[in-house]
Amino acid sequence: MIIYPAIDLRGGQVVRLQGGNPNAQTTFSTDPLAIAQKWADAGAAWLHLVNLDGAFGEQNGNLDILEKVATTGLNIQFGGGIRSLNDVEVALKLGAKRVVIGTLAVQKPHLIGTAIAQFGADAICVGIDGRDQFVMTHGWKEKSQYTIFDFGRMMAERGAIHALFTDVSRDGHLGGVNFEDTADLAEQTGLRVIASGGVNSLDSLRELAKTGMIGGAIIGMALYKEIFTLQEALEAVKNVG
């Protein structure tokens, strides 16, 4: 299971939001490159980089940061504000290894198949942002018609192999992972689901890893609040699952 330390960008700064609420923001650093290098030095192989400005439809000035962070040598999973296949192509050219497609996948599900054909299945991750088991879009502000399970199956049928599941209600609150929905999503769809939202302990990481079905876990607030270190997280899932 891959551990993804998270960097959420807003206005060029490293921030965390509670429950996706732009008015409940904590700023942790004004130097995203330094934070990325910190995670690289701590042993991370992957980094989850989120352009919150893009996700909220605000100014999209964080792409230059993506390009700079790519110089660290980290594999970057990039998301936020991806509204077209051209946006996917731009992110990949700037150094992203994999691009998360969320709202666009809900609005135009057929484009996932096109994106996978064009860029490869490993380069595409479907973002499944859930609240009460329904998929949320537009920066977690709008509720779609799909349950997370129906949508996951639809994406798998179109060739997706990676999915990022975020329980919006838990994100940034350190309230614990939604283990049941994460595991059920992986089991029902066959997707390599990356868990996000609420990771608050090393035990929760071990539990996710032991299923053998979870592809990874994104850790944000727990690292920034120093509840545990990245090295401890990497060690916790080593040789598990």
Residues carrying an active site annotation: 8, 129
Tell me the C-alpha distance between 124 and 91, whole Å.
11
Q: Is 226 exposed, middle or buried (0-12, 13-18, 19+ CB in 10 A)?
A: exposed
- Which secondary structure element, helix H or strand E, spans residue 234, and what is its range? helix 230-236
Query: Which among 52, 6, 50 is positioned nearest to 25, based on CA atoms?
Result: 52
In the 8-state DSSP scheme, what is residue 217?
E
In the 8-state DSSP scheme, what is residue 80?
S
124, 126, 127, 128 alpha-carbon torsion, rounded to 10°:
-170
Tokens standing for 31? 């130097």
Tell me the C-alpha distance between 63 and 88, whole Å.
12
Contact 198, 170 (CB under 8 A): yes
Phi, psi of 150 (to 5 degrees): -60, -40
